[in-house]
Chains A and B, each alone.
Chain A
Amino acid sequence: MKNFDGMMVSRLGPVVTGLTVGILAPLLVMLGNPGNMGICVACFERDIAGALGLHRAAIVQYIRPEIIGLILGAFLSSVVFHEFKPRGGSAPAVRFFLGVFASIGALIFLGCPWRAYLRLAGGDYNALFGIAGLFAGIVCGIYFISTGYNLGRSYPAAQESKLSGLMMPLFAVGLLALLLLAPKFGPEGTGPIFFSEKGPGSMHAPWVAGLGIMLLVGWLAQRSRFCTIGALRDLVLARDGYLFWGIVALLIAGIGMNLALGKFNPGFANQPVAHTNSLWNFLGMLLSGLCFTLAGGCPGRQLVMAGEGDGDAAVFVIGMITGAAVAHNFSLASSGAGIGAHAPAAFAVGMVFCLCVGFCSRRKF
């Protein structure tokens, strides 16, 4: 155990985490998750928002145990290794809206950075435009970071507010209870929890598999600091490939696993839960990548930090869930047919917001 953890906190940690995600995500697809969506933080938070009735897009409503597992896996690992630390106070309201727009951008592309790589590993070449957009967004974020951008310090929670660090793990336990109990006490047996009967929301692996696999991934990601934004950011900013090799491992393992399972389907057309509008695949992830960079980590990393007791990351996650609901309520989210009617306007608003945050949150402004 000690030797294994030594490896996870070494240079091999992100690689092991990437390999695990690359192998197990296609397995989750085989077990029932939508195509190339073994793991997608943005899509799954959107499904959770739908299941809670925050949006009523009937085809994307389900309490995804993968999100629960990621939070709880990181929580357990951080407790075991004495890294659970309730903290917060670094511009939480700004982080909330960064989460909102990160989610909107991701749902224009149809995937978070994790899914962008998993889509590519499944042969979906549309993801290349998304990854290019992600890189462009990260570079924009690096410009701000290099010129003094900083959302300020967070502080350890005071003795009387230590409970704040447990909010996201408790939220995850609450979601698990709602998933298993599925209360339906509305008229005609509907709500308050909604589960899709058709579409991507109705496609899911057995909950035990989703939860178990992501408990493992959450644990590994917490130990290795796996981050799909940090991977590119640190490579450009500090010439540090520590996290980048995790992405390479994810891609190689994902391609290998999809080939082995006969799920590798190269091309642009007819890809699962994807559209072929290259411009908006790029722009959606540009917005998303910029938001994640300004907030300090990818959506998976934010869930992990929320599990470790980071209140700022928790606010970002709640922002993402809210943003997912907004994306569907305001016709911003894409579908296989193309982008939502008001996606361009939302993109413009999101970019203006990010640029304001980037320029105004600089020490030498």
Chain B
Amino acid sequence: MIVDTRGLSCPQPVVEVKKAVSGGDTTIEVLLDNPTSQANVTRFMTKQGYSIGNALAENDGSTRIVFTK
């Protein structure tokens, strides 16, 4: 599942990712466009027991991270 959090203000990125986690997805790909969201989402996903993949830079300046469980 892909969660696009670009342009969303706090706490929406975590809320969107939380929805995906509640849906039971074991692989969640998240698009993030600022370091605050990146830190918040990564912290949340770590707590949920997901492992964090490499942060890949996108052409538009955003970051793509794959979380797996």
List chain A positions with a Cβ less than 8 A from chain B.
9, 83, 85, 87, 90, 145-146, 150-156, 225, 227, 230, 233-234, 237-240, 242, 296-297, 312
Contact = CB atoms under 8 A, between A and B. Distances in A.
A137 to B, nearest CB: 15
Given A156-B61, A238-B18, A150 B12 contact: yes
A173 B36 CA distance: 26
Given A85-B34, A145-B15, A296 B10 contact: yes
A151 B15 CA distance: 13
Contacts of B36: 225
A237 B15 contact: yes
Given A145-B12, A238-B44, A296-B12, 14 more contacts: A87-B7, A90-B7, A90-B9, A150-B8, A153-B6, A225-B36, A233-B11, A234-B40, A237-B11, A238-B11, A238-B18, A240-B44, A297-B10, A312-B9
Contact of A238 (B7, B14, B34): B14
A296 B9 CA distance: 6
A62 B33 CA distance: 38
Interface residues of B, number: 20
B11 A145 contact: yes
Contact of A153 (B8, B10, B11, B47): B8
Contact of B7 (A155, A230, A242): A155
B39 interface: yes
A312 B7 CA distance: 11
Nearest to B18: A238
B15 to A, nearest CB: 6
B24 interface: no
B69 interface: no
B51 to A, nearest CB: 19
Contacts of A227: 10
Interface string B35-69: 11001100110010000000000000100000000
Contacts of A83: 34-35
A257 to B, nearest CB: 29
A87 B61 CA distance: 13
B60 to A, nearest CB: 8
Nearest to A223: B35
Nearest to B10: A296
Give the residue among B6, B11, B61 with the most A Cβ atoms within 10 A: B11
Top-4 shortest CB links A-B: A153-B7, A296-B9, A154-B7, A296-B10
A224 B35 CA distance: 11
B9 A225 contact: no
Contacts of A238: 11, 14, 18, 44
Nearest to A13: B39
B35 to A, nearest CB: 6
Listed residue (B36, B39, B43) with the most chain A CB atoms within 10 angstroms of its CB: B36
A85 B43 CA distance: 23
Contact of A234 (B8, B11, B34): B11
B43 A242 contact: yes
A207 B63 CA distance: 41
Nearest to A297: B10
B43 A240 contact: yes
Nearest to A152: B7
B42 to A, nearest CB: 11
